[in-house]
Amino acid sequence: MLQTTPPQHAAIEAFGAYRPARVVTNDELATRVDTSDEWITTRVGIKERRYAAAHETVVSMAVEAGRDALGKAGVAGGEVDLLIVATCTAPSQLPSAAPQVAHLLGASAPGAYDVNAACAGFCYSLAQASHAIQAGAAQKALVIGVEKLTDWIDHDDRTTSIIFADGAGAAVVGRSGAQGIGPTVWGSAGDRPEAIIIRSRDQLLEMDGRAVFRWATTEVRAEVDRICGASGLSLRDIDIFVPHQANMRIIDNMLRALDFRDDVVVARDIALAGNTSAASIPLAIDTLLDAGQATSGDKVLTIGFGAGLTFAGQVFEMP
Ligand code: UT7
Domain containing 31 — which CATH number? 3.40.47.10
Chain length of the chain: 319
Q: Do 278 and 255 belong to one domain?
A: yes
Q: Is 216 in the pocket of ligand 1 (CB under 6 A)?
A: yes
- For residues 151 and 237, state if they share a domain: no
Q: What pLDDT is recorded for position 3? A: 87
Residue 66 · residue 286 · CB < 8 Å: no
Cα separation of 212 and 314, whole Å?
A: 21
The answer to whether 241 touches 261, Cβ cutoff 8 Å, is: no
CA 314/CA 306 separation, integer angstroms: 16
Active site residue 9: no
Is there a domain that residue 24 lies in?
A: yes
Is residue 4 one of the residues assigned to a domain? no
Q: How far is the CA of 277 from the centre of ligand 1 (A)?
A: 17
Tally of domains in the chain: 2
Task: Render each residue's pLDDT in the chain as its tens digit; 319 residues.
Answer: 998 888 999 999 999 999 999 999 999 999 999 999 999 999 999 999 999 999 999 999 999 999 999 999 999 999 999 999 999 999 999 999 999 999 999 998 999 999 999 999 999 999 999 999 999 999 999 999 999 999 999 999 999 999 999 999 999 999 999 999 999 999 999 999 999 999 999 999 999 999 999 999 999 999 999 999 999 999 999 999 999 999 999 999 999 999 999 999 999 999 999 999 999 999 999 999 999 999 999 999 999 999 999 999 999 999 9
Domain boundary among the residues 176, 202, 226 is at: 176
Residue of the CA atom closest to atom 1 of ligand 1: 246
**Amino acid 88: pLDDT:** 98
In degrees rounded to 5, what are phi and psi of residue 152?
-120, 5
For residues 244 and 120, the answer to whether their CB atoms sit within 8 Å is: yes
The pLDDT tens digits of the residues spanning 254-303 come to 999 999 999 999 999 999 999 999 999 999 999 999 999 999 999 999 99
Residue 3 lies in a domain: no
Last residue of a domain, one of 176, 208, 225: 176
Q: Is 119 a catalytic residue?
A: yes
Let me know if residue 306 belongs to a domain: yes
Number of alpha carbons in the 13 Å side-chain half-sphere of residue 12: 29
In a domain, 195, yes or no: yes
Last residue of a domain, one of 118, 151, 176: 176
Q: Which residues contact 300 (CB under 8 A, 6 or more apart)?
A: 238, 239, 240, 241, 242, 285, 294, 315, 316, 317, 318
Question: What letter would DSSP give residue 164?
Answer: B
Q: What distance in Å separates the CA atoms of residue 240 and residue 262, rounded to the nearest whole number?
A: 11
pLDDT tens per residue, range 225-236: 999 999 999 999
**Is position 2 within any domain?**
no
Is residue 122 domain-shared with residue 60, that is, in the same domain? Answer: yes
DSSP states along 27-67: HHHTTTSS--HHHHHHHT--SEEEE--TT--HHHHHHHHHH
DSSP class of 278: G
Domain identity same for 28 and 152: yes
* Residues 220, 309: Cα–Cα separation, whole Å: 10
277 and 247 in a common domain: yes
The enclosing H or E element of 98 equals helix 98-104
* Cα-based angle 193, 270, 125 (whole degrees, multiple of 5): 55
Cis before residue 110, ω within 30 degrees of 0? no
Q: Which of 210, 250, 283, 305 to mutate to test the pocket of ligand 1 (most atoms within 8 A of CB)?
A: 210
- 119 Cβ below 6 A of ligand 1: yes
Residue 87 belongs to domain spanning: 9-176
Q: Is ligand 1 within 6 A of the CB of residue 32?
A: no
Same domain for 108 and 199? no
Nearest to 13 by CA among 105, 75, 96: 75
Query: Looking at the structure, do residues 94 and 28 belong to the same domain, yes or no?
Result: yes
pLDDT confidence of residue 4: 87
Whether 236 is covered by a domain: the verdict is: yes
Cβ contacts of 223 within 8 Å, gap of 6 or more: 185, 187, 303, 311, 313
Q: 244 an active-site residue?
A: yes
Instruction: Determine, yes or no, domain membership for 265.
Output: yes
pLDDT at 26: 98
R_g over Cα of the chain:
18
Catalytic residue from among 26, 88, 119, 228: 119
- 220 and 96 co-located in one domain: no
- For residues 74 and 196, membership in a common domain is answered with no
Strands (DSSP E) contained in 219-259 are 240-243
Residue 5: predicted pLDDT: 87
Give the ligand 1 atom nearest the CA of 160.
16
Q: Give the pTM.
A: 0.97
Catalytic residue (choose from 88, 123, 244, 247): 244
Q: At what angle do helices 248-257 and 221-230 cross, to 10 degrees?
A: 60
Are residue 153 and residue 195 in the same domain, yes or no? no
Q: For 53, how many CA atoms within 13 A lie in the half-sphere containing its CB?
A: 5
Residues 17 and 118 in one domain: yes
> Are residues 159 and 267 both part of a single domain?
no
